[in-house]
């Protein structure tokens, strides 16, 4: 798994696409993944679950997507131990951590635990106030619940991935929504 992870990331990013390693971490079952707590001892975490993500970090992956499940009783996207301590500090991950869609349950807890980017949640299209970040994160920074240095770190990490892949150079290929992505795979 780790070797395939590394090779896939290097292949994707070699053509200017930001790769995302997911689902971080201990997301090993689909049934009830939005409610379960994966309780993993430290040794198993390091020897089994963290290894593919360590390979992703070695491959300079742009981002990591935290999972829906809890890890040792705390939501993965609000878990300081897995996001800050293991991924950012222990593995030295310089990129950004993003949620999966609907994987956020709070503003301050995720922001202070190392989450860098929130994907939309429940009713974002019809009710922008239902989004945990945006105005809520701004209010948390203004009230001091989330420090400016924490916000600055998030911005640096997100922009670092953009610069890492040269997306600031204007040579990034344009999106072609009319492309037939199946044409090369058709069997005659």
Within a domain: 187: no
100 is catalytic: yes
Whether 186 is covered by a domain: the verdict is no
Number of domains forming the structure of the chain: 1
Q: Which residues contact 83 (CB under 8 A, 6 or more apart)?
A: 24, 66, 76, 77, 97, 113, 114, 115
Q: What is the pLDDT of residue 187?
A: 65
CB atoms < 10 A from the CB of 116, how many? 25
Asked, for residue 76, whether it belongs to a domain, the answer is yes
The CATH number for 57's domain is 3.20.20.300
Inside any domain, residue 107: yes
Would residue 149 count as lying in a domain?
yes
CA distance 21 to 113: 18
C-alpha closest to that of 71 among 81, 63, 62: 81
What's the burial of 50, exposed, middle or buried (CB within 10 Å: 0-12/13-18/19+)? buried
Q: Where in the sequence is the domain holding 54, given as residue range(s)? A: 2-166
Residue of 80, 100, 127, 129 with catalytic role: 100
What does the pLDDT profile of the chain (188 residues) look like in tens digits? 678 989 999 999 998 889 999 999 999 888 888 888 999 999 999 999 999 999 999 999 999 999 999 999 999 999 999 999 999 999 999 999 999 888 888 899 999 999 999 987 666 666 666 677 888 899 999 999 999 999 999 999 999 999 998 888 877 667 777 877 777 666 65
């Amino acid at each position: 798994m780790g070797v395939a992870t590394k090779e896939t990331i290097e292949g994707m990013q070699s053509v200017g696409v930001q790769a995302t390693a997911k689902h971080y971490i201990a997301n090993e079952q689909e049934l009830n993944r939005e409610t379960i707590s994966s309780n993993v001892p430290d040794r198993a975490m390091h020897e089994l679950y963290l290894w593919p993500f360590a390979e992703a970090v070695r491959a300079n992956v742009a981002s990591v997507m935290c999972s829906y499940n809890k890890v040792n009783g705390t939501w993965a996207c609000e878990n300081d131990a897995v996001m800050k301590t293991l991924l950012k500090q222990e593995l030295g991950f310089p990129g950004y951590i993003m949620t999966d869609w609907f994987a956020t349950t709070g503003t301050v807890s995720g922001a202070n635990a190392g989450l860098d980017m929130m994907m939309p949640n429940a009713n974002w299209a019809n009710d922008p106030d239902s989004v945990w970040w945006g105005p809520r994160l701004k209010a948390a920074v203004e009230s001091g619940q989330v420090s400016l240095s924490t916000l600055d770190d998030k911005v640096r990490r997100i922009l670092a991935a953009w610069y890492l892949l040269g997306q600031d150079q204007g040579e990034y290929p344009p999106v072609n929504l009319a492309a037939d992505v199946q044409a090369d795979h058709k069997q005659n």
